[in-house]
Amino acid sequence: GPINWFDWTLPQKNSELFQFCRRMIRFRSLHPALTHPLQAGDDREPGSSLEAVWHGTRPCLPDWSPGNRVLAFELRHRTETGGSDVVYVAINTYWEPLEFVLPTPPSGCRWHIFANTGAPSPEDAYEPGEEPPRENQHDIQLGGRSMIALVAR
């Protein structure tokens, strides 16, 4: 009989999900804004190098009402050398597509798309470091019940 019930072929059977998760894990490990040991604004670190900026479908206009189905935010990490790591995430839990106006990326940078869960594989997540720049730097149409992650480079 079988030694165990683990199906060793699952990574092959679910190769698209496996690739998506592998890219997500690698993306997180490469971005100080996502691996900072403290939360943004933590009072244990005066002058924190991590800042969270909350958005809605428009920059700096979050909607905290109970029926809201949208959340967007930027995590900005300032490095000791004066550089920055900025990640933007938008989440649309509404069933219809919504337009999100993007915040302005840091000076000299453009938004590059890392993940879009509304896109088919392999465009649902790009290899970290190889994210394509968005042609439209002003806004993005986000499908229903999906999320995007952009990185400023």
Sign of CA dihedral 139, 69, 151, 47: positive
- pLDDT number for residue 47: 53
Coil, strand or helix at 126: coil
Measured CA to CA in angstroms, residue 111 lies from 55, 88, 122, 133, 138 at distances of 16, 9, 19, 6, 9
Alpha-carbon span 18 to 27, nearest angstrom: 14
In this prediction, residue 39 carries a pLDDT of: 65
* Percent residues over pLDDT 70 in the chain: 92
For residues 100 and 140, the answer to whether their CB atoms sit within 8 Å is: yes
Q: Burial, 8: exposed, middle or buried (Cβ in 10 Å; 0-12, 13-18, 19+)?
A: exposed
Does residue 44 surpass a pLDDT of 60? no
Question: What values do phi and psi take at 70, rounded to 5?
Answer: -135, 140
Tens of pLDDT, residue by residue over 49-108, are: 888 999 999 999 999 999 999 999 999 998 777 789 999 999 999 999 999 999 999 999
- Percent of the chain exceeding pLDDT 90 equals 75
Q: 38: which residues sit within 8 A by CB, 6+ positions away? A: 44, 45, 48, 50
Q: What is the pLDDT of residues 100-140, one digit of tens each?
A: 999 999 999 999 999 999 999 999 999 999 999 999 999 99
CA-nearest of 100, 49, 47 to 73 is 100
For residue 49, what pLDDT is reported?
84
Q: Is the pTM of this model over 0.95?
A: no
Please report which helix (H) or strand (E) contains residue 75, including its range.
Answer: strand 70-78
Does 42 have pLDDT greater than 90?
no
Q: Is the pLDDT of residue 46 over 80?
A: no
